[in-house]
Amino acid sequence: MRKGLLVLVSGPSGTGKGTVCNLLREKHPELAYSISATTRQPRPGEVDGVNYYFYDKAKFEAMIEAGELLEWANVYGNYYGTPKQAVLDRLEAGEDILLEIDTQGALNVMEAMPEGLYVFLLPPSLEELEKRLRGRGTETEESIARRLGAAKEEIGRAVKYRYVVVNDTVEKAEETIANIIAAEHNRTDLNEDLLKALK
């Protein structure tokens, strides 16, 4: 049985990572989803254990200390991280697993698991990114300015990813990522057992 594929999607805040990943999961229910942990407050409609595991700072820091996170980062004053064991268990069981995390955390995952599939989601333009952030209706002017500044810095990290996908429409971005995943399953280094069996 083949090992599962770690699929990581990240990009600047407001790029539409959540929307694209939700459509990807809807169209490909076989793709397992890694639920991240965070210390930030839930947004309207978010459910603990479904969208995120919402932990207090003390519990999160205890997990860091115990080495229970595949990656973690402090983003805009809140902790975010990926519980490690759940990811490893699913990969060993042959499941593909989707991680939707920020670029800071992604760089840590790349170090720990260089064989993963890393996709950087880009906005069509910085102007469109600002429009999307304003459209949320949850950001202050200060927050928007900070996120736009961070976006420019994050886009500079895109060269560390294997693929970049522009999210001009959610449907097109989802289809592109799905095609990338399908292609990755045909990599020779992921099919060594099949090649050996046919010698």
Its pTM stands at 0.82
Cα–Cα distance, 103 to 155 (Å, whole number) = 9
pLDDT in tens, 52-81: 999 999 999 999 999 999 999 888 899 999
Asked whether residue 43 is assigned to any structural domain, the reply reads yes
Q: Which amino acid is at 19?
A: T
Residue 116 is assigned to a structural domain of this protein: yes
Beta-sheet strand order (sheet of 163-166): 32-33, 97-100, 6-10, 117-122, 163-166
Indicate which CATH number applies to the domain containing 69.
3.40.50.300
Task: Dig out the tokens for 115 from the structure.
Answer: 């064989």
Whether 135 is in a domain gets the answer yes
Q: How many domains does the chain have?
A: 1
Domain assignment present for residue 122? The answer is: yes
**Structural contact between residues 54 and 48, judged by C-beta atoms closer than 8 angstroms:** yes
Name the residue range of residue 145's domain: 6-197
Amino acid identity, position 69: L
Assess whether pLDDT exceeds 90 at residue 179: yes
pLDDT of residue 83: 93
In single-letter form, the type of residue at position 128 comes to E
